[in-house]
Amino acid sequence: MESLDFDFVIVGGGVAGCILANRLSADPQCRVLLLEAGGKDTSALIAAPGGLLPIMMSGAFAWPYVSAPQRHLDDRVLYLPRGKVLGGGSSINGMVYDRGFHSDYDRWAQAGNRGWSFAEVLPYFRKLESFSAAQNEWHGNNGPIRVTRAAQEHPFAQAFLKAGAQAGYPLTDDLNGETRDGFGAVDLTVGNGRRASASSAYLRPVRKRPNLTVLTRAHSRQVMFDGTRATGIVFRQAGAEMLAKAAREVILSAGTINTPQLLMLSGVGPAAHLAEHGIALVHDLPGVGQGLQDHLAAHVKFRSTKPWSMLRFLNPLRGALAMAQYLVFRSGPLADPGMSVACMVRSDPALDEPDIKMLLVSALFGQNGRKMAPMHGFYAHINVARPQSRGSVTLASADPDAPPVIDQNYNATDNDRRVMREGVRIARRIFAQSAFDEMRGEELAPGTHVQSDDEIDAYIRAHAEADYHSTSTARMGSDPMAVVDNALRVHGLKSLRVVDASIMPHLPGGNTAIPVAMIAEKAADLILAKGPRS
């Protein structure tokens, strides 16, 4: 087996992997290898924000994972695409810049993870962004990721903001600022009309560094150990197996699904489960693969009486004009992912913070964006911001090419069901305001016949979809089910770290790409033994 020698071997070229490759290779004495199982991110569809629609509909840049049958969702199997390209999810997602709540990170710290309170991670959020709207205590303007505030001129967006005020909710000028309460504009990882993925922002500018090697179509098979010390990664590329040796550290950034899978394939995980698959035990770590969380999405959909939705751009002539406008001016519909306003609201007025997130979508998508209804419309995309339900990632086989068993255990608690039900009712109340009178047609989903708690619950069980924000399968902590410590080192092992969404103690109340970017920025300082940022 051919072997290659490096100081750091990073598994996974998604958000965290691209950032670590940049930061660690900034020291010319560090030899860094980044392994990505997917391909390069050279498609024009990835660069154009409006390319989101064909990306979703084609699935061309995603691993087509599916969930285990979800017992609280009528035993349905849900679609769970994962980025199959440099940049990972940041190359194929909806480009929503979302940090979650300040209290999310304070809860991480309160659980014993010193250094992870919001005050301590805010400098890393500021470090990673170049925010065009303002430079203030909440935002930075010198970071690699371009962030812009979405325009709100679209009549659907205007109506949504007005309807929120009519329904008695506050307006906020920054959903990622001091307070996360009410209705406001979405921030986007977009700059100069182009998607700002982790690959384009962090990796592409440094690809020519002589001490950085990036290999695509490289499928990691196993972490190698000398006793309890991780020494490298066996990977397959073009049919040949190779060994990448790591003189300093192996860093797993393969994501919430594949990081625990790779750990277990390598003999690190629940001993009994590994024995079931005939895998030799390196270290019994019962929390590997456990604690999986994800956002579940329900929808309240309306037909529009006006032809204003994104459907109009599927017309060949309009589509060609939009492409020409984008190529010449970097403007128009292809410079816009089509999501510009959102809100955070409470299922119960007595709560200290909102527990429902709602995003307005200006088209009638179905099947997780793979289909668009042949009519104009809009809908609310509704999440329980911080669900209680937890599931697991387990092995289906000792074969590294076999997908793992992904069971989010969605909608498992009474509280999750109650909050989602209230989210449906609140969305209906918003769309019933006079601001939507000019454009509101019939309610397509759930449909006016669905009114009682039982009927709404049945609708959610039958139609809710995964939202691709999986976390917490190698979570940070010091309890028996924790997998990594507060420096992201795997408990009981040496020279092995995890840096991705799997380390989150719980799912933040927002999208996960930007929290993962923050984790990677902080991890780079931890790995290079730099002090906390001020």
Q: How far apart are CA 211 and CA 32, in angstroms?
A: 6
**Coil, helix or strand for 343?**
strand
In 3-state terms, the chain is what percent helix, strand and coil (to 5)?
30, 30, 40
Spell out a b/e string for 202-220, using b for 16 or more CB atoms within 10 Å of the CB, else e: bbbebeebebbbbbbebeb
Cα gap 94→52, rounded to integer Å: 7
Is the N-terminal amide bond of 446 cis, ω within 30° of 0? yes
> 330: closest CA among 127, 29, 28, 51?
51
DSSP-derived secondary structure letter, 178: S
Is-contact 303 376, C-beta < 8 A? Answer: yes
Q: Which residue has the tokens 């003999």?
A: 267
Give the CB-side neighbour count of residue 226, counting CA atoms within 13 A.
8
User: What does 349-409 look like in DSSP terms, one character per residue?
Assistant: TT-SS--EEEEEESS-EETTTTEE-SS-EEEEEEEESS----EEEE-S-S-TTSPPEEE--
CB 110 within 8 A of CB 240: no
Burial class (CB in 10 A: 0-12, 13-18, 19+), 321: middle
**Catalytic, out of 72, 139, 283, 469:** 469
Residue 489 bridge partners (DSSP):
497
Residues 6+ apart with CB under 8 A from 314: 372
Torsion of CA 194, 199, 205, 211, to 10 degrees: -170
Residue by residue, DSSP assigns 265-326 as HTTEE-HHHHHHTTPPPSEE-TTTTEEEB--EEEEEEEEESSS-SGGGGGSHHHHHHHHHHH
Using DSSP bridges, classify how beta strands 290-292 and 283-284 pair: parallel, antiparallel or unpaired.
Answer: unpaired
Tell me whether residue 469 is one of the annotated catalytic residues.
Answer: yes
Question: How far is it, in rounded angstroms, from Cα 288 to Cα 275?
Answer: 14
What are 374's two structure tokens?
């042949």
CA distances from 507 to 104, 127, 375, 502 (A): 8, 22, 35, 10
Active-site residue list:
469
